[in-house]
Chains A and B, each alone.
Chain A
Amino acid sequence: MRVAGHWRLKRQRLTLEGEVCPSCRAPLFPPRDVCPECGKPAATPYTFSGRGTVYAFTTVYEPPAHFEQYRPYLLALVKLEEGPILTAQLTDVDPEEVSIGMPVEMVTRRLTEEGEEGLILYGYKFRPLVRQQVA
């Protein structure tokens, strides 16, 4: 992706900024400007809390290009407490510690980098709640 493309996605990646539909109040992530619930335009920014639960997960052993350095890693569908389901990596957790329905929280981590001289890309991942890991 070109630098401009990453730049346009920064709010979504760094602050979990999506949209809320002004007509039916459905929260949308990722932002898509047309509400999938009611079909009306939706462009009101809405920042998600970052709390959710694991809806499904898998371990990736054969990653796509630019993600090889993290293998193996956990990829999950996370159901945000506001409703939307998104795809994200799980971090700071081993596969045997993960279960469906496990509460997770958003953290900002390095997603990848475009070579040694290129941009470092940061974005959301999810991990078990810190206090839950301790207890």
Chain B
Amino acid sequence: MPTHLLTPTRSVGITGYGAYVPRYRLPAAEVARMWTGGRGGLPVREKAVPGLDEDTATIAIEAARNALARAGIDPQALRAIWVGSESHPYAVKPTSTIVAEALGAVPYVQAGDWEFACKAGTEAMQAAIGFVGSSMADYAMCIGADTAQGRPGDALEYTAAAGGAAFIIGPAEGALAVIQGSLSYVTDTPDFWRRAGAEYPSHGQRFTGEPAYFHHITSAAKALMAEMGTKPEDYRYAVFHQPNLKFPQRVAKMLGFTPEQYQTGLLVGEIGNTYSGSAMVGLTAILDEAQPGDRILMVSFGSGAGSDAFDIRVTDAILSRRDNAPRTRDYIARRVEVDYGMYARLRGKLKNA
């Protein structure tokens, strides 16, 4: 049987990583107070909300600066800056050129914006593995960042959050973690979409679960583990796309992972679903704590639909470099709670202000 593994000709890894989460938090109980009289279960405890002066570009810039600090490389050494998002500030004008300019990485750099719902960032990671793994480039920056919006009163309003993560892919030598294998599993599945010009997304209600999220994540994870010859117990950590608290815990259980393996990267209860950032921010929280030799499984999910799965092994270099930037938990801890009124203002829902 031909392999489905995406294997570069030279070994690559994560040279630097960084996260960013805005400081404002909207408790899910506030959304319930507004729309259900406080009744019903809550999918998360709270979600991160961007400030008035924040968007996908500013989130990407801060995550990318943190990744550069940990990589310790000159921004001029970057040959690609790719930003995956479903909330790019412009419909036409790249987010990636703004990020490249802010990092001091222009002008000899490939820049592009990626879209694939919540997996646009990991898609860029796989492309970066190819870019570096083919020796076209030594370093490529890939970012997943979003300032997701849910229609007022919709189920997504509890969870649609803001945040992002950036990874610099480079040669395995000098990397904080080596990417040992990855693959992508994609079908045409209409579980969630937003038409051009529409302010809020639509979704297939219960269709978002079995045929979309669970099918693609379990298929990608099982295929990767079969190719790598691994079992769940070979991984110290596992992190999945996290649209709410229930889905990633259930998919982990379906695959045979324990809470000890997935708790470190499971942030959705505290910051909500950061969309393109979701699994990637989870991975940054794991790298903040992991020890050399630890093996990590990451599986993203993007509606439409598909999953990217990665097998990652942490190296000794993590110990001396991870404190060169704020940890993901530092951002989560600088929490300022807002009520629904302030949230409506921060998210531009007050049209005549």
Q: A15-B101, A130-B326 are in contact. Are A109 and B331 (CB under 8 A)?
A: no
- Taking the closest CB of chain B, its distance from the CB of A45, in whole angstroms, is 11
Size bracket of the A interface: 20 to 34
Q: Are B51 and A108 in contact (CB under 8 A)?
A: no
The yes or no answer to A107 lying at the interface (CB within 8 A) is yes
Q: A110-B58, A120-B90 are in contact. Are A133 and B334 (CB under 8 A)?
A: yes
The secondary structure that dominates the A interface is mixed
Q: Are B101 and A109 in contact (CB under 8 A)?
A: no
Give A92 to B103 CA distance when docked, in angstroms. Answer: 21
The yes or no answer to B8 lying at the interface (CB within 8 A) is no
The yes or no answer to B89 lying at the interface (CB within 8 A) is yes
The yes or no answer to B212 lying at the interface (CB within 8 A) is no
Give A70 to B54 CA distance when docked, in angstroms. Answer: 12
The yes or no answer to B1 lying at the interface (CB within 8 A) is no
Give A109 to B98 CA distance when docked, in angstroms. Answer: 11
Q: Are B51 and A120 in contact (CB under 8 A)?
A: no
Contact partners of B90 in chain A: CB under 8 A? 120
Q: Are B58 and A107 in contact (CB under 8 A)?
A: yes
Contact partners of A131 in chain B: CB under 8 A? 326, 330
Shortest Cβ distance from A112 into B: residue: B53
The yes or no answer to A125 lying at the interface (CB within 8 A) is yes
Give A47 to B108 CA distance when docked, in angstroms. Answer: 19
Q: A108-B102, A120-B90 are in contact. Are A69 and B58 (CB under 8 A)?
A: no
Give A102 to B101 CA distance when docked, in angstroms. Answer: 28
Q: Are B58 and A109 in contact (CB under 8 A)?
A: yes
The yes or no answer to B62 lying at the interface (CB within 8 A) is yes
Q: A14-B102, A15-B104 are in contact. Are A110 and B54 (CB under 8 A)?
A: yes
The yes or no answer to A55 lying at the interface (CB within 8 A) is no
Contact partner of B52 (CB less than 8 A), chosen from A11, A15, A69, A133, is A69
Shortest Cβ distance from B104 into A: residue: A15
Q: Are A109 and B54 in contact (CB under 8 A)?
A: yes
Q: Are A10 and B101 in contact (CB under 8 A)?
A: yes
Shortest Cβ distance from B98 into A: residue: A122
Q: Are B330 and A15 in contact (CB under 8 A)?
A: no
The yes or no answer to B57 lying at the interface (CB within 8 A) is yes
Shortest Cβ distance from B326 into A: residue: A130
The yes or no answer to A91 lying at the interface (CB within 8 A) is yes
- Taking the closest CB of chain A, its distance from the CB of B31, in whole angstroms, is 23
The yes or no answer to B196 lying at the interface (CB within 8 A) is no
Shortest Cβ distance from B53 into A: residue: A109
Give A133 to B23 CA distance when docked, in angstroms. Answer: 10
Contact with B along A31-42 (1 / 0, CB 8 A): 000000000000
Contact with B along A108-130 (1 / 0, CB 8 A): 11110000000010100100001
The yes or no answer to A134 lying at the interface (CB within 8 A) is yes
Give A134 to B93 CA distance when docked, in angstroms. Answer: 36
Q: Are B52 and A120 in contact (CB under 8 A)?
A: no
Contact partners of B55 in chain A: CB under 8 A? 110, 120
Give A125 to B52 CA distance when docked, in angstroms. Answer: 13
Q: Which residues from chain B sit less than 8 Å from chain A, CB to CB?
A: 23, 51-55, 57-58, 61-62, 89-90, 98, 101-104, 326, 330-331, 333-334, 353
List the 6 closest A-B pairs by CB distance, nearest first: A109-B53, A14-B102, A133-B334, A130-B326, A110-B53, A134-B333
Q: Which residues from chain A sit less than 8 Å from chain B, CB to CB?
A: 10-11, 14-15, 47, 69-70, 89, 91-92, 107-111, 120, 122, 125, 130-131, 133-134
A15-B104, A89-B53, A109-B54 known, 17 other contacts, Cβ within 8 Å: A10-B101, A11-B101, A14-B98, A15-B101, A15-B103, A69-B353, A70-B53, A91-B51, A92-B23, A92-B334, A109-B51, A120-B57, A122-B98, A130-B326, A130-B334, A133-B334, A134-B333
